[in-house]
Amino acid sequence: MAAFHDRTHAGRVLAEKLSHYRDNPDVIVLALPRGGVPVAFEVAQALRAPLDVFIVRKLGVPGHEEYAMGAIASGGVRIMSSDVARLPIPQSAIDAVTAREQQELERRERLYRGDRPPLQLGGRIVILVDDGLATGSTMRAAVEAVRQQNPKRIVVAVPVAAPDTCADLLHEVDEVICATTPEPFRAVGLWYENFDQTSDEEVHVLLGAARNAEPSAAA
């Protein structure tokens, strides 16, 4: 039933569907950590493109954190759900959740990127990669944040997605690549044989490997 053995396999399948971007000097691959990084690593290697992380943190409803009231992303972007206005959540509670998630976002950026500045996205073809899309709320936050940096083109690419989510995103970006859109969808993890959580250490190692590959790729 599973479409992919693991995220590495999924990344290789996805890379084939992005082959029209291979060796394009304008392309940058951005991974949504943590699960998107092993997928994006394979994509970046196949396309011979630079890889970076783009961190998005969900803002959970206080007391019901599984429900997203919005999200924040790298670059100081905060996006709130239209449903929040109808919920009895005081602004102070929203600000507290935002501050906590902003701390975590900054911690992860330091951990994954170190002292390296983020890649500049202006005028570039940005391919946003995750390991799958259910509701797509995290990816939408990433898209909105990337758009504010004036890229030439925004592409969303995932191995597996809910059909409706994939279709909806077509109205928000220049291109959407969903390698498979099973129905019924249910959950991203169902379509992987191995869906173990990606560790911070694995993210760090893959980003380091991608950086080390860049000089030889450009040669």
Mean pLDDT value of segment 26-38: 96
| pTM assigned to the model | 0.88
Q: Where are the alpha helices (DSSP H) in the chain?
A: 7-17, 36-47, 91-113, 137-147, 163-169, 200-218
Residues 64 and 61: their CA atoms lie apart, in Å, by 5
Structure confidence by residue, pLDDT tens digits, 157-209: 999 999 999 999 999 999 999 999 999 998 999 999 999 999 999 998 999 99
* pLDDT of 15 higher than 50: yes
Higher pLDDT among residues 101 and 70, named by residue: 101
The pLDDT of residue 73 is: 86
Task: Please give the domain boundaries of the chain with CATH numbers for all domains.
Answer: 7-55+123-214 (3.40.50.2020), 57-112 (3.30.1310.20)
Q: Is the pLDDT assigned to residue 1 strictly greater than 70?
A: no
- Mean pLDDT, to the nearest integer, of 36-45? 98
In this predicted structure, what is the pLDDT of residue 207? 93
